[in-house]
Amino acid sequence: MSYDENQPSARPRRVGRGNLTIAIAALVPTALAGWLVWRAMSGPEGNEPPKVLPLPSRQTAGKPGPAPSPSPRASYPAATSAASPSPSKGNSSGPLAGKVVVVDPGHNPGNFRHTSEINKLVDIGTNRKECDTTGTATNDGYTEAEFTFDVSQRLRALLEKQGATVKFTHANDRPFGPCVDERARIGNKSGAAAVVSVHADGSAVGNRGFHVILPALVKGGAADTAKIVGPSRDLGERIAGKFVRATGSAPSNYVGGGTGLDVRKDLGGLNLSTVPKVFIECGNMRDPKDAALLKSSSWRQKAAQGIADGIGSYLLR
Residues annotated as catalytic are 281
* Contact criterion met (CB below 8 Å) for 130 and 178: no
Residue 18 CA, distance from chain mean position: 29
